[in-house]
Amino acid sequence: MSTHAPVVVTGAASGIGAATASLLRHRGHEVVGVDRADGPGIIGCDLADPAAIDALAQRLPAVLGGLANIAGVPGTADAYTVLAVNVLAPRHLTALVLPRLVAGSAVVNVASVAAHRNTAPPAALEELIAATGPDDVRAWLAAHPTDGPAAYDTSKRVLVDWTTRLAGALVSRGVRALSVSPGPVETPILGDFTASMGAESMDRSIATVGRHGRPDEVAAVVDFALSEEASWLNGIDLPVEGGLLAARTASAFPAVPVPAGPALTAQHKEDQS
């Protein structure tokens, strides 16, 4: 990510997108924000509408230092909108801006640990990965009836898988692609996730890791993934969930012995050195 070329951040008006845009600017990068409505430093765009994305591309700089596809809708939306915004939109925008990305830059797609909840079979996922427009998504939904919450899980599984394939295709161009998968995060749409995924599921997450994540904690990982410091990081998904998946996996095995007592603070470590 060059400090001399702007970075596009979708979903920049709130939550993880706003935190990422703020952090990038703090580090000296020019940011072109994208969200549903125009605002200071933000270009309005309905990401459910391919024509609106085409128009957005006409307003973006000719040279770009990175793309962070962060905008998304939760499972409280209808299934078509979920798939249009979470699957079609990042792929469409990425295809339009790829020729403008400088060597050494990256595309970072924000997915979700909800990808692990996907129940669509591999063949259905392949059909959705191959979808190129709204008609394909509507046909997919006709063949695979899905409600909003399930569509959300599937959309994030497809986004993770597509990002890996994108990375492989871009290696020769010197442009990286990664996905970042947060767990529950304290954003304005957390209530929507509670409604679509269930309060019990959210409560279990808090009981496991102690709290939900903060937007700035996810933004820090997106910022790193975009940066030159992450130049050898490519084609992978980065879970950002406070150890939630590890704790769930570990619960199925014998407990690992750990020393009793609280963790050492930085001051304690310094005193003992």
Mean pLDDT by 10 residues, the chain (273 residues): 83 97 96 94 96 97 98 96 98 98 97 96 97 97 97 98 98 97 86 79 81 93 97 97 83 74 58 53
- From 5, 34, 67, 152, active-site residue: 152
| Residue 140, in any domain of the structure | yes
Domain annotation covers residue 2: no
In a domain, 73, yes or no: yes
Do 64 and 102 form a contact (C-beta atoms < 8 A)?
yes
Residue 80 falls in the annotated catalytic set: no
- Structure confidence at residue 232 (pLDDT): 97
User: Which structural domain range is residue 133 located in?
Assistant: 7-272
pTM for the full predicted model = 0.89
pLDDT score for 268: 54
- Tens-place pLDDT, residues 239-259: 998 888 888 888 777 777 767
How many domains does one find in the chain?
A: 1
- Render the burial of 199-232: b for 16+ CB within 10 Å, e for the rest: eeebeebeebbeebbebebbbebbbbbbbeebee
CATH classification of the domain holding 201: 3.40.50.720
Domain-located, residue 192: yes
